[in-house]
Amino acid sequence: MDRLSNTVRPYAWGSTTAIPALLGIAPTGEPQAEMWMGAHPGAPSRISRTTPAGETELALTEAIDADPEGELGAATVARFGPRLPFLLKLLAAGAPLSLQVHPDLDQARKGYVDEEARGVPVDAPHRTYKDANHKPELICALTPFDGLCGFRRPTEAADAMEALGVDSLKPYVDLLRAHPEEAALREVLTAILSADPAEMTDTVAEAAVAAERLGGAHAPYARIAHNYPGDPGVLAAMLLNYVRLQPGEALFLGAGVPHAYLDGLGVEIMANSDNVLRCGLTPKHIDVPELLRIVRFEATEPGVLRPEASPSGEERYETPADEFVLSRYTLASGAAPAELTAPTPQVLLCTAGAVRVGELGLTPGQSVYVPAGEAVEAAGSGTLFRATVAA
């Protein structure tokens, strides 16, 4: 078992206070958006290991590369290759993230092979597929957490746009009411993303003023417009369901589901991939033809998840993902230790109180990595999140 030293990513949309508050440290004034826990090559966690030369600090990726089966277990390596298949994060949104969608596994593999064959550099701004993996993800709220998830019914989106009283939105309103559901959503999103951004500026500005004036259900879109003035993605956002998670509630984002996180602190887990197709609220490249091929144009309910309790004390968030399972343990002082030994690798994160994992004490924001098969128990008084691989 290894205590993790983790990197905090300073993305512009990050909260300046949420992660420092959880860690009990003073904010720096700079955004602190995500703390990564795992073996992503972009910012792997670091650990200390005893070697013949003494105590040595190394990246978790290096430890796994040196002994994949010993660290991950033979079954995990057989299913996912010699890499940790998930990435765990603390995510602190202080401003809306980009609207985005993820491909399924087959789409990711084909897209990656195609771009490799065409010689598109992996770091090119217009590159769509950074790897050959899909990216299912789950966000679990630690504070009230606002987001957008999946398309709402076209008639609801039409009502929201019409209430703004912006004449230039009338063609979108008419489309949303005149077609079958899938066709309506597809045509309106295509029109928004294909329009000349300069010609959309006035429409978006008028919509933003009206949304702020109306407040209520329009308030989230007014805030988005404040952070992304003139961005057509503001109108795309109005096609999506708004959801507010309470602490302990979660959202699962599968392939093809457009989404964006708006505000709040949460624990996020995802397959270890960088494949993101953006569809607004960003200065980055938007590959409209590929996006329209990936997006699932169907109205859905947000599908808020709540953990399912077991006699062992594990509260598990059930999803269809194979790469990860997220669980929560609420530990009480004096209670029997929670048995966490598993045949798969684990990352354990404390988010409240003070807990002990084996011989290591953890306070909020601290985490440990447990190799596959290593015996481990947790005790104390606090909350512990467990990330591992689906059996």
3-state class of 196 per DSSP? coil
H or E element, residue 65: helix 60-66
Q: Residue 141 half-sphere exposure, CB side, CA atoms within 13 Å?
A: 21
Which two tokens mark 17? 């206070």
How far is C-alpha 285 from the geometric centre of its chain's CA atoms?
19
**Residue the block writes with tokens 């997006």:** 295
- Catalytic positions are 278
CA distance 77 to 133: 15
Q: Evaluate whether 176 touches 159 at the Cβ level (below 8 Å).
A: no
Neighbours of 1 (CB within 10 A): 16
Q: How far is CA 156 from CA 12, 43, 101, 179, 184, in A?
A: 32, 41, 21, 14, 12
Residue type, 247: P
Strand runs labelled E in 195-345: 240-245, 250-253, 259-271, 277-278, 308-309, 315-317, 325-331, 338-339
Q: Residue 70 half-sphere exposure, CB side, CA atoms within 13 Å?
A: 7
Which two tokens mark 167? 């004449």
Torsion angles phi and psi, residue 53, rounded to 5: -85, 0
Q: How far is CA 369 from CA 17, 265, 312, in A?
A: 26, 22, 21
As separate numbers, helices (DSSP H) first and strands (DSSP E) second, the chain gives: 12, 21
CA distance 152 to 70: 46
Sign of CA dihedral 59, 63, 69, 73: negative
Sign of CA dihedral 353, 40, 45, 387: positive
